[in-house]
Amino acid sequence: MSSPAAPVLAASDLVKIYPPASRAGRPSTALAGVSLDLAEGTCLGVVGESGCGKSTLARLLVGLERPTAGTVLLQGQTVTSFRRPELARRLQLVSQDPFSSLNPRLTVSSALTEVLLVHHRVDGKKQAAARVADLLEMVSLGPQFASRLPHEMSGGQAQRVAIARALAAEPQILVLDEPTSALDVSVRAGIVNLLAGLRTDLALSYLFISHDMAVIRQLSDQIGVMYAGRFVERGPWQSVMSEPLHPYTRALLQAVPEPHPDGSLLGGPEGSAEESTEGTLEPGESPAAASAQNGCKYAPRCPIRIDRCLTEEPPLEIVTGAHEAACYRAGVPVEPGDVPAEAGGVGERA
Amino acid sequence: MTDRDVTSAEPVLAIRDLSVGLRARSGVTELIRGVSLDIRPGERVGLVGESGSGKSLTMLAVMGLLASPVAVTGGSVTLGGTQLVGASDRTLRALRGSEIAMVYQDPMTSLDPLQRVGEQIAEGLRAHGVSRHEASERTVAALAEVQLPDPARLARSYPHELSGGMRQRVMIAAALAGNPRLLLADEPTTALDVTIQRQILSLVARIQRARNLAVLWVTHDLGVAAQFVQRLAVMYAGRVVEVGPTTAIFSDPQHPYTAALLDAVPSTTGERAALGQIPGSPPEPGSFPAGCSFASRCRQALPRCTRAEPILEQRPSGVEAACFVPPAEWRA
């Protein structure tokens, strides 16, 4: 990605291989060489399906796990070299389930005060109380929430508290791992809008991870699409969403159920085009199964693959402007008749 | 619908004024309040709402699967000519699997991890008097119908050997093996990746058409409803607030809740603007307010809305909505 300023967070060639789960098992490659730069004040959206490695990426970026190979640089310094409190003052993780990240026996006020005191963000308890009120206001919760326990809140309210707690440490970067995925439609909208506003108001940088293309689009400056432990496409959000280059990105976008009917219901008489997609997209191979091949990991599912795709791995390269793709067929249109050899079967592997 | 005139046929399932409550010594807490819905042969109907709206409870009530102290407190559910409310366990057991089948969100809770998937499907058929030999043949045929590769071999696998999408296909095969007239589905694709969800929806749509099956599909996902169902009922606080043809509801919502919900959904196309928000949260069962349950969160609410409860009324667009304020009078 092109960015004039030095990135606040940078990863180069991250590899994460987990040991076999059993003696008979094989090691599992969750990340197979991921590099990224997060420019200050921007949001990089990372989208992909189950098992693509996006959550592993989040854990490596926040220093919860060490990579098998590669480095993560936070403001130019290796992330794992920071002492925990120093790291927490720069970088915070917000995850999917707020209840699992909040202590069930601490009131909101105690949870926030604890963070404020540990990180010396306030002088004494009196200042802390004022700051707690500020933080609650920042996430649009009334002062009455200060005395609440996690079980006295809805999922959306708890997620706001989790965000407030992350902000209490005054980090520059938030790594957001599916922060809206467990929420109802109307609640999700509130959190998405909140995150958009906070980024501007506090000049934060976001690494935003989601399986949801529409939510990713809502918040991101840059979008990276992951498949089998790699970025297969990355670029400015407008380009990725409106001119996707990689056949996987296009399949992903096509599969998103849009909340406005186009008149052709799935399986309808005029929807015969739908029938062909039923077998075309071979779903979610695990990275472990996929890493057995030498070529492009998407090739077995790809409707427009050529022989080269099966033997050689395409690198992530600039195609136009700042828009990158890892595909020998980048931008080649998919015709209705293009079907991979395995079509007809489901081809999904456990 | 253009292909089949479903509106003239007799409904497979008729839900009339169904109420469900939680019985306690102190009284009954209402959870579902007067839900009515018809599903005709060959029709795919959606039940949409957010957590706690009562959509899943409605489905459980239809199946007769409510567990005490939650029970049907009023209304009727008829399948063909059979009244399901108050029917004996024996009657319900005979209907489940043969007349009505159900698919849930998490196949792992419905599948026995220690039994081969084929045996589990065959077991369901055997319970309805199908011979061992025929049950095994029909099992393989059912697995083939959901496009699982090498169905005879797959029938011998255990649930953990299958991926999430394959397991959900197995559940659909099990549900359809008994050749039911009505399929009830409670968020069966919610836990799946979108590409797999798309395949499952296409698959069910194709089978549904081939068999002229009636389908009731419960989902929180407006996108899934838009792509999959012909008719839609939107639930809020235990009531249906809007019901009608999917295209009519999405293009011209008549209830402010439906409109607000649609505004809150992000899209992959179009202009990128802040999402619509709905202030506050839905009322808790037991403290449903007087008047319209949505009034306190509604931008269109009039003084009248907190006094009287609007009922479902026909609108010119072809849908029914329970709201005193027509869209023409809505404030921007």
DSSP per-residue codes, B163-210 = -HHHHHHHHHHHHHHT--SEEEEESTTTTS-HHHHHHHHHHHHHHHHH
Best mutation target among A260, A264, A282 (most B Cβ atoms within 10 Å) is: A260
In sequence order, the 6+-apart residues with CB closer than 8 A to the CB of A21 are: A28
Closest CA to A116 of A166, A62, A160, A74: A166
Cα gap B319→B241, rounded to integer Å? 11
Taking the CA of residue A222 and the nearest CA in chain B, the distance in Å comes to 14
- Residue B60 DSSP code: H
Cβ-Cβ contacts under 8 Å, B164 against chain A: 50, 284
In order of A119, A197, B186, B209, B320, the CA distances from A265 in angstroms are 54, 36, 19, 12, 21
A272 in B contact zone (CB under 8 Å) = no
* Among candidates B206, B209, B220 on the partner chain, residue whose Cβ is nearest the Cβ of A185: B220
Return the pLDDT at B332.
82
Residue pLDDT, tens place only, A262-295: 766 776 554 433 443 433 334 444 444 455 578 9
Closest CA to A8 of A256, A243, A204: A204
Cα gap B249→B243, rounded to integer Å? 8
Residue pLDDT, tens place only, A190-201: 999 999 999 999
Mean pLDDT of B115-123: 95
Domains in chain B with CATH codes: 3-99+180-268+276-329 (3.40.50.300), 108-179 (no CATH)
Q: Decide if A350 and B161 are in contact by the 8 Å CB cutoff.
A: yes
Residue pLDDT, tens place only, A211-234: 999 999 999 999 999 999 999 999
Cα gap B216→B93, rounded to integer Å? 19
Mean pLDDT of A248-257: 93
Q: pLDDT averaged over chain B?
A: 93
Return the pLDDT at A2.
46
Pull the structure tokens for residue A283. Answer: 């779903």
Pull the structure tokens for residue B238. Answer: 């235990």
A50 in B contact zone (CB under 8 Å) = yes
Closest CA to A72 of A131, A14, A143: A14
Q: Decide if B274 and A186 are in contact by the 8 Å CB cutoff.
A: no
Closest CA to A191 of A155, A165, A225, A149: A155
Which residue of chain A is at minimal alpha-carbon distance from B197?
A: A255
C-alpha dihedral sign at B221, B250, B323, B71: negative
* Among candidates B193, B230, B268 on the partner chain, residue whose Cβ is nearest the Cβ of A214: B268
Best mutation target among A139, A223, A346 (most B Cβ atoms within 10 Å) is: A346
CA max distance for chain A: 69
Residue pLDDT, tens place only, B26-72: 999 999 999 999 999 999 999 999 988 999 999 999 999 999 999 99
Which residue of chain A is at minimal alpha-carbon distance from B166?
A: A348
Cβ pair A5, A40 in contact under 8 A: yes
Cα gap B227→A262, rounded to integer Å? 8
Residues 282-321 of A with CB under 8 A from B: 283-284
B251 in A contact zone (CB under 8 Å) = yes
Return the pLDDT at A24.
80
In order of A66, A310, B43, B47, B239, the CA distances from B216 in angstroms are 47, 43, 8, 7, 17
Alpha-carbon Rg for chain B in angstroms: 21
Cβ-Cβ contacts under 8 Å, A347 against chain B: 149
In order of B12, B79, B91, B140, B142, the CA distances from B83 in angstroms are 12, 7, 10, 33, 29
Pull the structure tokens for residue B209. Answer: 């058409």
In this structure, chain B runs to a length of 332
Cβ pair B273, A193 in contact under 8 A: no
Here the ipTM equals: 0.88
A2 in B contact zone (CB under 8 Å) = no
